[in-house]
């Protein structure tokens, strides 16, 4: 594998999950694989889990790790070609990327949707510039439309906790005061759709996701109906995808918060969320603190997904 930006890059899911199990059981078995190799992690946006788990994954593989926060200490970057750079942006991304590429062997990029242009967001302009101009393998640490390291960790977690061969998984929208990208939800749907598990996506009208990610999942506008019999409840907020409201919060209906009453509709489901989570907006204190909440093991599996992906990229360098 050279680049990792979506589920299709990882190969057959059964094999990827077997590799992840091996990594989890043998975290230091490949400590020589990354010797004298440098991982550069470039963040255009904030992070706790991705930053720490990916760094830990690189260290477990024996890599040197460098972290760059573009917005804290680097020059402000221009990303559009043809712009007269007479404003506050000092460096063009078309020089910055190959320079970064010259310092490392593998580059991780976090670059969220900025909602200025749906076309640019959904064409993954920043991530694809890294792939095109860095000359090095690139992996997504959450881009505009997907968060594949999170989705891989989510699936690893579901495999660990599922009690039936084909669990019912419900992805539910939940309220949030700010505009959030659709990336986690798109990506989760894309990965679960590859498993053949039952996926139901529930949200208020107006929050329909890009049909390319929804795939064959059932869309249900009644959250209670969707939750009935669920084995896993995956809560996430996202802003509107559909025009003319792209990137906007069109309602904050608190009746969609995942509460104990909502969880009582399920098949004693496990509660999942990628974190960070706003308590009592997305999920009640009681639910996230309950024994059915698996948000901490889910976050811990971020090391496993990152290490499995980095290992595959390192093997591809040989």
| Residue 48 makes contact with ligand CP by CB under 6 A | yes
- Pick from 249, 275, 281, 300: which binds ligand CP (CB under 6 A)? 275
Which positions from 202 to 221 touch ligand CP by CB under 6 A, shown as an x/- string? Answer: --------------------
Pair 61, 306: CB distance under 8 Å: no
Q: Please state, in angstroms and rounded to a whole number, the distance separating the CA atoms of residues 140 and 57.
A: 14
284: left (phi over 0), alpha (psi -120 to 50) or beta: beta
47 binds ligand CP (CB under 6 A): yes
**Phi, psi torsion values for 216, nearest 5 degrees:** -90, 10
Rounded CA gap, 33 and 63, in Å? 8
Judge contact between 189 and 45, C-beta under 8 A.
no
User: Minimum CB separation from ligand CP for residue 87, in Å?
Assistant: 29
- Using CB under 6 A, count the residues that bind ligand CP: 9
Nearer to ligand CP, 230 or 299 (CB): 299
**Tokens coding 161:** 């906790």
| Binding of ligand CP by 296 (CB under 6 A) | no
Kindly tell me which residue out of 3, 55, 60, 150 binds ligand CP, with binding defined by CB under 6 A: 150
Could you tell me which of 221, 218, 225 has the C-alpha nearest to residue 265? Answer: 225
Q: Which is nearer to ligand CP, 133 or 301 (CB)?
A: 301
- Contact status: 274 vs ligand CP (CB under 6 A): yes
CB nearer to ligand CP: give 89 or 278. 278
Distance, in Å, from the CA atom of 155 to the CA atom of 174, rounded to the nearest integer, reads: 21
Residue whose structure tokens are 């003319």: 244
- The distance from CA 150 to its chain's CA centroid, rounded to whole angstroms, is 4
Kindly list the distances between the CA atom of residue 80 and the CA atoms of 71, 89, 213, 271, in Å, as whole numbers in the listed order: 17, 11, 27, 41
What's the min distance (Å) between Cβ of 138 and ligand CP? 17
Among 3, 50, 111, 145, binds ligand CP (CB under 6 A): 50
198-202 β-sheet, strand order = 218-220, 198-202, 168-173, 232-236, 270-272
- Residue (of 308, 316, 306) closest to 140 by Cα position: 306
Nearest CB to ligand CP, comparing residues 78 and 298: 298
Q: Would you count residue 142 as binding ligand CP (CB under 6 A)?
A: yes
Using the rule CB under 6 A, give the single segment among 44-52, 115-123, 193-201, 213-221 that binds ligand CP.
44-52
Q: Tell whether residue 49 is a contact of ligand CP (CB under 6 A).
A: yes
Q: Of 30 and 142, which CB lies nearer to ligand CP in the complex structure? A: 142
- Show the site string, 105-124: x = touches ligand CP by CB under 6 A, - = not: --------------------
Judged by CB under 6 A, does residue 301 bind ligand CP? no
- Among the residue ranges 23-31, 48-56, 231-239, 254-262, the one whose residues contact ligand CP (CB under 6 A): 48-56
**Site residues (CB under 6 A) for ligand CP?**
47-50, 142, 150, 274-276
């Amino acid at each position: 594998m050279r680049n990792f930006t979506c589920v299709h890059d990882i190969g057959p899911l059964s094999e990827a999950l077997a590799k992840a199990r091996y990594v989890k059981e043998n975290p230091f078995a490949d400590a020589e694989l990354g010797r004298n190799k440098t991982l550069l992690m470039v963040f255009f946006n904030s992070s706790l889990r991705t930053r720490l788990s990916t760094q830990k994954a690189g260290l477990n593989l024996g890599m040197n790790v460098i972290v760059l926060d573009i917005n804290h200490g680097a020059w402000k970057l221009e990303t559009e070609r043809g712009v007269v750079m007479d404003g506050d942006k000092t460096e063009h991304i078309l020089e910055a990327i190959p320079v970064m590429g010259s310092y490392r062997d593998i580059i991780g990029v976090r670059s969220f949707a900025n909602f200025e242009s749906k076309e640019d967001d959904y064409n993954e302009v920043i991530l694809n510039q890294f792939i095109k101009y860095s000359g090095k393998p690139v992996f997504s640490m959450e881009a505009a439309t997907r968060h594949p390291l999170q989705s891989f960790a989510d699936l690893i977690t579901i495999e660990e906790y599922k009690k039936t061969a084909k669990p019912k998984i419900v992805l539910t929208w939940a309220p949030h005061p700010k505009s959030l990208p659709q990336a986690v939800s798109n990506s989760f749907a894309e990965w679960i759709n590859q498993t053949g598990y039952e996926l139901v996506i529930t949200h208020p009208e107006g929050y329909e996701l890009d049909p390319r990610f929804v795939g064959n999942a059932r869309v249900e506008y009644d959250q209670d109906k969707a939750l009935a019999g669920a084995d896993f409840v995956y809560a996430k907020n996202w802003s509107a995808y559909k025009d003319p409201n792209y990137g906007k919060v069109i309602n904050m209906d608190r009746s969609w918060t995942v509460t104990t009453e909502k969880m009582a509709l399920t098949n004693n489901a496990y509660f999942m969320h990628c974190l960070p989570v706003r308590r009592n907006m997305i999920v009640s204190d009681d639910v996230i603190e309950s024994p059915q909440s698996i948000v901490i093991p889910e976050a811990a599996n971020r090391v496993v997904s990152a290490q499995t992906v980095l290992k595959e990229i390192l093997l591809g360098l040989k």
